[in-house]
Amino acid sequence: MMPQQSKSPALVTALALGHANGPTVAVKDCLDIAGLPTGCGSAAFANAQPARENAAVVDSLLASGCRIVGKANMHELAYGMTGFNAHLGTPVNPKWPKLIPGGSSSGCAVAVAEELVDFAVGTDTGGSVRQPAICCGVFGFKPTFGRISRRGASPEQSSLDCIGPLARDASMIEKAMQAIDPSFEAICLEKAPRLARLRTSFDEPVMEALAVPFIAHDFAPDYIDLPSLDDAFKAGMLLIARETYLAFGHLLERPDGLGEDIRARLTAAAAVSDADVAWAEGVRERFTAEVDAVFSSYDIILTPALPCVPPTLQAARDPSQILSITRYLRPFNLSGHPALVVPALTSLGLPVGYQLIGPKGRDEYVCAVGRWFADMM
């Protein structure tokens, strides 16, 4: 393995690791590859020692016959949703270059959208696979929490984070999951799923775009409410702040090495109290019960992936423009349910999408419904 400088800002390192004729894969640079430093998108780790062994997911990819062609760029420390990276450069959204690529798995989404790879493997702590997937017009999947081993992932400890794939179509998501997790077996639907549509508020262009397949197929799913959704969003924000601070707060003691946005967020994260964490854990229990209760009557919960079209690069410099962009994604990191995003377009050709959430442990079913839903569109 001879790592080289990549020609694309989506990849921080070009590799040729694994089976010469296997599916090509990019791996987010917070996942260990033996012999390479794990940079986490940060100058703070520019001189990090090479990893001694592969992350568990990297071993699975290689054992399944994949070819790893690069480590993917990312929002620094996986702690941001824009994809901005002052240290390594911000990957350019291939289809909408004026819009953010999303984050934190920005390089993964861009590499897939640019067709540099067949699929990419990212991490999702608060929407970090699913949000950039929609920003770049591809599919992204967050498995059930705990299904995929996080050994060799950074940060080491997380109650929210899941390793998951991004791909250009639903079938490749399933193939990626088979490579990531040998126990995953793609299935075919025997009948149409019972869909429950979350009652939500979102921008009119998104509303119009997401209504198209239902109008075209004269299909009207029942509406449901999740009363603790907003609290779950806030709880997810508190927990990711606490856990990221515990992992990386020591970097604040260094005068350089962190981007301004990350330094500000880590500094703010220090204020999260034990009482905040206790409240968030109470919300986790309550919200998880609400979601589980829906599945006694329905097979899948359907939500918008994003409440709005992704902001422009310029607008995203204002934190108020991106604060709520993961409103419908982050709560399901808190609850741990599997969730797949399916890309769509507004009438002006801008990226939006659907999110399909299923019962815990039924990852194969969620992916099968995603394939069915994409075909219906």
DSSP 3-state of 189:
coil
Tell me the C-alpha to C-alpha distance, in Å, between residue 311 and each of 14, 88, 100, 290.
30, 21, 6, 31
Say if CB 194 and CB 298 are below 8 A apart. Answer: yes
- DSSP label of 338: -
Q: Structure tokens of 122? A: 């990212």
Is there a catalytic annotation at residue 128? yes
Is there a catalytic annotation at residue 98? no
Is there a catalytic annotation at residue 28? yes
Residue 36: count of CB within 10 angstroms of its CB: 20
Q: Structure tokens of 47? A: 């001189």
Sign of the dihedral through C-alpha 356, 359, 360, 361: negative
Annotated catalytic residue within 128, 159, 228, 335: 128
- DSSP label of 51: B
Could you give the strand order of the β-sheet that contains 222-224, starting from the edge strand earlier in sequence?
Answer: 11-18, 67-72, 24-28, 119-124, 162-167, 139-142, 339-345, 351-357, 300-304, 195-198, 222-224
Cis peptide before 104 (omega within 30 of 0): yes
Annotated catalytic residue within 6, 42, 64, 104: 104
Tell me the C-alpha to C-alpha distance, in Å, between residue 7 and each of 13, 30, 109.
9, 20, 16
Annotated catalytic residue within 8, 28, 95, 158: 28
The Cα–Cα gap between 41 and 32 comes to 13
Of the candidates 73, 138, 135, which has an alpha carbon nearest to the alpha carbon of residue 98?
135
Helix (DSSP H) and strand (DSSP E) numbers for the chain: 10, 11
> Which residues are known to be catalytic?
28, 104, 128
